[in-house]
């Protein structure tokens, strides 16, 4: 009797497989309903993404990507796979939206100071200074930018080209005579740093240059870090290095004002405005913050681009040969041993395309950050006041709808006019990179002397990126050995 009752009960109860089916069905049903509910309640214009915990958000994931050999952009790349081209996240206490197309870029760049202002994470603003051109509000930006423009005028660039060319030739000759492999990134970092310090402050003393360079490197390393003053951290080291640099700059300014030094350079041109109205001059803190900004920004971005140009040209011999042919024709048209002039650079048609293609592929500025000043919409997506909006140059530059075979190095693609806002290596609008022309001439001089005087072999083909760098750079720095033509 008992066995019969047990069988009857078991026949009435669902079997093990039925229970599993119901459980799985329930989970899937709840997931779909909750997803549909989120879509209804959030609205069709809500940007997908994950904000995580207040303040922390996905900061740890971002720093983890930064600390990997794939680089910090791997954080963005993964989220695009999960959410699509448009996504939002939370980092360093702020909500960030990544803008992936030229239409969105145009909306943001064209409305700088109207709906958007420059937006950097706290560690970056602390490193370069609150009165840096990168960080100041609208009311100060126009004045400071205008006063900083002198080193980048055509007259100043003409002088710079000759000095830089002479410095480069001497250093390449020394490397050739040594006959040893050298690291392009290290070479270009030191070269561009020394050139910037010479142009801005007439500093040529080797020991002082190296002291300033070490501190500038610490400042650069602190730009993407958690902003807590804990001894031993990158942020702590960067802020301490900044304090030393400010003291060095103060001492130089003091000597200039006392009449002990008065070279013709950018700093002197600023100090000569001491008697001008406040609207027509920079105060000392503005001068010092922007000296640091110009040095760090000018060195790190241009040096990285020079390194990438060597790598890309090594991998594309057809482009290298075509560039060499153009550069040799310029060499043959000048007296032997003559320095390059700005006019020579203007005739480097293919060289200019090599520079543009290098900047498109290397993306030394991965994205351009802005902060929304008001609630607004971009491409139909709702942006809240205070959100950080990042114009994703990397996504735009690698979009196959804009560039055929975007991962192929092809300078000739710039034979044709590009779609507006599809090439934004220097940004756009009122905040277009102030040093754009200097970066171009620096790279052209470098490419001229390298390809017209030498061939080279890359001694390490490792493509892993340097860890903890806010600018994509090869971990090995691209070591090469020169062979004179």
> What does the block give as tokens for 151?
């080193």
Distance CA 477, CA 472 (A): 11
Instruction: Please enumerate, as own/partner, the contacts of 266-275 that have beta carbons within 8 Å and a separation of 24 or more.
Output: 266/150, 266/151, 266/199, 266/200, 266/201, 267/200, 267/201, 267/202, 267/291, 269/150, 270/147, 273/147
Encoded tokens for 219:
């400042």
CA-derived radius of gyration, the chain: 27
Residue 206 burial by CB count (10 A; 0-12/13-18/19+): exposed, middle or buried? exposed
- Assigned token pair, 448: 């001229």
DSSP class of 475: T
CB burial string 343-358: b at 16+ within 10 A, e below: ebbeebebbbbbbbbb
Report which of 87, 161, 142 is spatially closest to residue 345, judged by C-alpha positions. 161
Strand 479-484 with 182-183, pairing: antiparallel
CA separation for the pair 108, 105 (Å, rounded) = 5
197 known ligand binder: no
CA distance 369 to 224: 13
Sign for the pseudo-dihedral over CA of 357, 359, 360, 362: positive
Q: How many whole angstroms from its chain centre is CA 100?
A: 16
- Where is the binding site, in residues? 433
- Where is the binding site for heme, in residues? 433
């Amino acid at each position: 009797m008992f066995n019969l009752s047990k069988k009857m009960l078991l026949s009435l109860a669902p079997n093990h497989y039925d229970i599993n089916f119901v459980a799985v069905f329930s989970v899937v049903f709840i997931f779909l309903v909750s997803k549909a509910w989120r879509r209804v309640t959030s609205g069709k214009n809500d940007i997908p993404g994950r904000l995580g915990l207040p303040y922390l958000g996905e900061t740890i994931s971002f720093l983890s990507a930064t600390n990997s050999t794939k680089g910090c952009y791997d954080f963005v790349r993964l989220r695009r796979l999960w959410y699509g081209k448009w996504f939002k996240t939370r980092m360093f206490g702020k909500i960030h939206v990544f803008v992936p197309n030229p239409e969105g870029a145009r909306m943001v760049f064209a409305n700088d100071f109207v709906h958007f202002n420059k937006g950097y994470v706290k560690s970056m603003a602390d490193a370069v200074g609150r009165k840096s051109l990168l960080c100041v509000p609208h009311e100060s930006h126009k004045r400071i930018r205008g006063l900083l423009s002198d080193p980048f005028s055509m007259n100043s660039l003409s002088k710079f080209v000759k000095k830089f060319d002479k410095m480069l030739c001497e250093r390449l000759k020394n490397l050739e005579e040594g006959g040893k492999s050298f690291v392009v990134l290290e070479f270009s970092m030191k070269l561009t740093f020394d050139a910037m310090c010479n142009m801005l402050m007439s500093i040529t003393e080797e020991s002082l240059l190296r002291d300033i360079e070490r501190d500038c490197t610490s400042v650069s390393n602190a730009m993407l870090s958690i902003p807590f003053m804990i001894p031993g951290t990158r942020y702590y080291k960067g802020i301490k290095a900044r304090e030393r640099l400010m003291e060095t700059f103060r001492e130089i300014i003091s000597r200039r004002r006392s009449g002990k030094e008065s070279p013709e350079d950018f700093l002197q041109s600023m100090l000569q405005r001491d008697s001008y109205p406040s609207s027509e001059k920079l105060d000392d803190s503005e001068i010092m913050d922007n000296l640091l900004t110009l040095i760090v920004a000018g060195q790190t971005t241009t040096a990285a681009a020079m390194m990438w140009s060597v790598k890309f040209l090594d991998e594309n011999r057809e482009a290298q040969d075509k560039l060499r042919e153009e550069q040799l024709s310029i060499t043959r048209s000048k007296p032997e041993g003559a320095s390059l002039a700005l006019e020579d650079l203007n005739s480097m048609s293919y060289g200019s395309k090599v520079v543009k293609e290098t900047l498109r592929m290397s993306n030394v500025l991965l994205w351009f950050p802005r902060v929304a000043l008001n609630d607004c919409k971009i491409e139909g997506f709702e942006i809240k006041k205070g959100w950080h909006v990042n114009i994703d140059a990397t996504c735009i530059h690698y979009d196959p709808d804009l560039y055929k075979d975007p991962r192929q190095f092809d300078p000739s693609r710039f034979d044709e006019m590009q779609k507006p806002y599809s090439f934004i290596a220097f940004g756009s609008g009122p905040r277009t990179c102030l040093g754009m022309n200097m970066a171009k001439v620096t790279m052209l001089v470098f490419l001229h002397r390298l390809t017209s005087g030498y061939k080279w072999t890359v001694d390490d083909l490792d493509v892993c990126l340097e860890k903890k760098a806010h600018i994509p750079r090869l971990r090995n720095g691209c070591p090469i050995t020169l062979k004179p033509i």
